Amino acid sequence: MRALLLENLHPLATSILGADGIDVATRGGALDEDELIAALQGVQLLGIRSKTQVTERVLENAPDLVAIGAYCIGTNQIDLGAAAVRGVAAFNAPFSNTRSVVELTLAEIIALTRRLTERDRALHAGIWDKSADGAHEVRGRTLGIVGYGNIGTQLSVLAEALGMSVVFYDSAEKLSLGNARRLESLDELLEVADVVTLHVDGRGGNAGLFGARQFGRMRPGSVFLNLSRGFVVDYAALRDEILTGRIAGAAVDVFPEEPKRRGDPFESDLRGLPNVILTPHVGGSTEEAQEAIGQFVSNKLRDYLAHGSTMLSVNLPNLALDARTGAHRLVHLHRNTPGVLAGINRTLAEHDVNIDAQLLATRGDLGYVVTDVGSGLALELCEELETMDQTIRLRLLS
């Protein structure tokens, strides 16, 4: 087995895969399409971040590829459908940087409520601005969380520990943690929250979710944070509210258009405004998160290779699997049409092979059957399974 890891992944990726006997090659940057195709010959595992584009053409020309690890949150850089129909599993790290985002959010809630960055800037400019005006404790104030997912829920728990009263609005049915209260609508939340923080996901329907109307419904003197996605908020409307002083401050980490490279210039309606904290999409960027991502994705790749486990794969049916119970494990990815399971089992029976354990999962057009068998497997049996009309990929783990 050979792995190619691009884009300076955390060293844990090399050590975890290497410890499993995989021959790991690493490269610093991303590769373009042709370079990637050449580099993938004879390679089973590919590790990337967000810059390497794994297109249909790359997949078509990488016959040895078995799995891709996106060592980040997003997977837009991979043609997931094209990977799935070629039997290439893709994994990412959906929540390895959750805590980092939550900690930055909490730090900013306190900083905005104390007008900390204004005091800091004044003192750096040589002005001793000692005053309690406009500075508050967060204890006893109401935090309104919009989007109660991985980040929203963890923020909810930690904010309560600071003495905040937490309300949330989520478009899906969610369990309230601690004393947090679920509200029925965004408007209801805006009426009561002293701090409004967005943690919704990046689905298309969330474009422009928060604009002049929503800012207009926020309580006078409240503060606003967005560490979710840039396109969710109308920042020109936020600028107007900050300039009138109705919104007392804002922290923004994500923007509709973000510079591509470190050091590139940055333009925004929000630059230079009072009590507005701007950060360059670093909510999830900590060394701890990088390490957690390195570990999480490498473990997923390792478990897929060794046991066929597809748990949390973003493009294959999900099955959580431990080490096999029998001598061999047959891992069969196929087109999801009636009769595939019966066909596999008929073939096994015809070859006198007894099934120790079997699991099936489906996802849209794909089916995934994992079968543990105790006895040896004839070559012809594997060939018969491999040449079934519906077979996409057969792997034998022994």
Residues marked as catalytic: 229, 258, 281
Enumerate the H helices of 218-353 as residue ranges.
235-244, 287-307, 340-350
* Residue number, 97 or 298, with CB nearest to ligand NAD: 97
Whole-angstrom distance, CA of residue 255 vs CA of residue 235: 9
* Minimum distance, C-beta of residue 76 to ligand NAD, in the bound complex (Å): 11
Position of tokens 């905040």?
164
What's the Cα-to-Cα distance from 208 to each of 156, 178, 205, 212, 213, rounded to whole Å?
24, 31, 8, 10, 11
Whole-angstrom distance, CA of residue 237 vs CA of residue 211: 6
* Residue number, 229 or 307, with CB nearest to ligand NAD: 229
* Minimum distance, C-beta of residue 226 to ligand NAD, in the bound complex (Å): 9
DSSP 246: S
* Minimum distance, C-beta of residue 277 to ligand NAD, in the bound complex (Å): 13
Whole-angstrom distance, CA of residue 266 vs CA of residue 258: 8
Q: State whether residue 384 is helix, strand or coil.
A: helix
Whole-angstrom distance, CA of residue 226 vs CA of residue 144: 12
Whole-angstrom distance, CA of residue 228 vs CA of residue 266: 19
Binding site for ligand NAD (CB under 6 A): 73, 95, 97-98, 101, 146-152, 169-172, 199-202, 206, 209, 227-229, 253-254, 281, 283-284
* Residue number, 105 or 298, with CB nearest to ligand NAD: 105
Measured from each CB, the residue nearest to ligand NAD is 149
* Minimum distance, C-beta of residue 24 to ligand NAD, in the bound complex (Å): 27
* Residue number, 19 or 107, with CB nearest to ligand NAD: 107
* Residue number, 207 or 327, with CB nearest to ligand NAD: 207
* Minimum distance, C-beta of residue 232 to ligand NAD, in the bound complex (Å): 8
For residues 181 and 204, is the Cβ–Cβ distance under 8 A? Answer: no
